[in-house]
Chain A
Amino acid sequence: MAPRSDTRQSGTHQSGTEELDATIRIATPENIAFQYQLAGPFRRLPAFLIDLAIRMGVLFLMAMVVGMLGLLGPNVASPIWMVFIIIYFGLEWFYGTLFEALWNGQTPGKWLLGLRVLTTSGQPINGLQAVVRNLFRLLDLMPPLPLAAFIAGAPIVATLPTGLVGLMSCLMSPRYQRLGDWLSDTIVVIEEKAWLPGTVKLEDQRAAQLATYIPPTFVVNRTLAQALATYVERRPYFSLARRREIAKHLAEPLVAKFGFPADTGYDLLLCALYHRTFIEAQPGEVGGDHRAFGSQPQAYGSIQPPQAEGIYFVK
């Protein structure tokens, strides 16, 4: 397990929105912080069931093959059955361990659902952690529910795991850790393949025209830029009346501020502002637009990130 005391600081230090969105912030050796979304118990259950089904399926197929080989006589069948039983034992206890160690924190079920096991500091897990978190799944599946509760006459040893311990443990952890995760200091995150939305193409030409009337002294600050981007990305999904209703809160004061006619469309104004902020450089504006950097100090004015320079020399 990773260094012992200080690493989990990075996980527990969460701001308000991170707690709301159940994300975890991870600092990389490259000295930047990025976010993962944590996987909750009901996101992980299907992965577990898929893995269970795979295990059962493999055992079933193997049992059929071994059963057929058994027809060759007891001297052949017996050693094969021994191997089969040992593999059964191995799958029962070490299926997850093996895959998580070999596949860098994923089992087939987790791979299908885009989950991955990491340490709480975002590092890959090591073999020891893979062993610990999979051994203690036994406790997470407790308490067992005796089948005799539903089926009269079922033997008392026939039980169904309920997983309540693991569920409670997940709910009590800020990072959705089950007992095995607590013990091995690991988390499960959602590793998504997000698509790049880019900027929105505004089909309405009036937005570009209106943009030229916005006073050049007006500075769009960071939060306003975020709000604009969010609004314009989502407005295609809203009806006209709804757009107007949402845009009103932001646009009404701006109309007054810019001195536009009172019948200016609220939606159109926000689109124009978006166009001016994100898409088209103003006439007379050269290269680096300092306003685009909001409150950032001048040192960030160079668009080229310092580390990125090397890539022009490789191939």
Chain B
Amino acid sequence: MKVAALLAERQVRWTELEMLCARIESTGSSGLPPETLTRFATLYRAVCADLALADAYQLPPGTVHYLHALVGRCHNQLYRGKFFDFEAWGRVLLIDAPQTVFNDRCVQLVFVLFWGVFLLSAYLAATPSAWPQYAEEAITREQITTLETNFKNPPHGRDPSENYVMAGYYIQHNTSIGLQCFVTGLFIVPGLGTLVFNASFLGACFGYMARPDVPEGINFYEFVTAHGPFELTAIVLSAGAGLRLGISVLFTRGWTRLSSLQLAAQDAMPVMGSAMVLFFLAALVEGFVSPSNLPYAAKATVAILSSLLLLIYFVVLGFPRGGIRATR
């Protein structure tokens, strides 16, 4: 049989497959009757066989090209990804993330670094005798003035209707910073730079506000208490997950550098996921609890409860209990 006759025979099936493929591309496979799907699979296998034998049939190059494209399109419709697997997401957030964090040296290192710089900076800013003008240098004069005017009054003067907008803004702004911190962590220096800058800046603010001669301090602390635990933990987690990426390129544990990086990215995603959840929670607290009329005791209780929740999440859920990761 010559190619012309062969093509005339096969063309009918190929065209039918093409039409079926276009139908599945536009409407998805769920709406089609099972016979059609079986037909699709059968025709796909047939065209695969045609392509495999293209050399033997001496098909012209143009036809072979057509077959490659057709098989490619059908392959993409036949084998599809699955995304909305909520059970898997829950498993990742409640089991994988805490266990990764608990064992992750990078998160621990970043934790120590962040709080070390934070406390040092707070100490220097709070005691003018240790480093005169430290607060002015770390925060700058204008920022100090802004801080002082912002916290002149106790933080319940805000119109409650504004809370929603502010909560949305906190979610967008803080989570974006966390994600940036994570992504730039691949290059190590920018990620750690963001972290240390934030630690020293925040530390200086806290230290400056703790000075006895700064009357706005009491309002400042009343505002930041409630959302502090979630937000600061979240930024530490983001930077730690980012640092894990950068470190994985340097220390590959026997993999190639690329594979090591790919594995690290895979392992870092649960941590980043939990960091995002924490950013969302922190933003809600910051938007609705921190500026509210609630007495300070209530806001402190929120802070204590959220700290407890974090402890349970990372220590109780995260405590190593064997499984796949125990050997790593």
Residues of A within 8 A of B (CB): 1, 4-5, 26, 28, 30-32, 34-36, 74-75, 77-79, 81-86, 88-89, 92-93, 101-102, 104-105, 116, 118, 122-128, 130-132, 135-136, 138-139, 179, 182-185, 189, 191-199, 220, 222, 225-226, 229-230, 233, 277-281, 287-289, 292-294, 296, 300, 303, 305-308, 310-311, 314-315
Contact = CB atoms under 8 A, between A and B. Distances in A.
B176 interface: yes
Contacts of B61: 226, 229-230, 233
Contact of A198 (B63, B83, B165, B183): B63
A126 B13 CA distance: 31
Contacts of A92: 172, 176
Interface in B33-65: 35, 38-39, 42-46, 48-53, 55-58, 60-63, 65
Contacts of B38: 314
A82 B168 contact: yes
B85 A127 contact: yes
B72 interface: yes
B43 A311 contact: yes
A131 B56 CA distance: 43
B48 A89 contact: no
B75 interface: yes
B131 interface: no
Nearest to A276: B2
A18 B263 CA distance: 28
Contacts of B187: 139
Contacts of B53: 300, 305
Interface residues of B, number: 81
Contacts of A314: 35, 38-39, 42
Contacts of A131: 269
Given A132-B269, A292-B57, A197 B63 contact: yes
Among B163, B167, B262, B272, max chain A CB count under 10 A is at: B262
Contacts of A278: 2-4, 58, 60
Contacts of A74: 159, 161-162
Contacts of A294: 55-56, 58
A1 B76 contact: no
A310 B268 CA distance: 47
B301 interface: no
B1 A199 contact: no
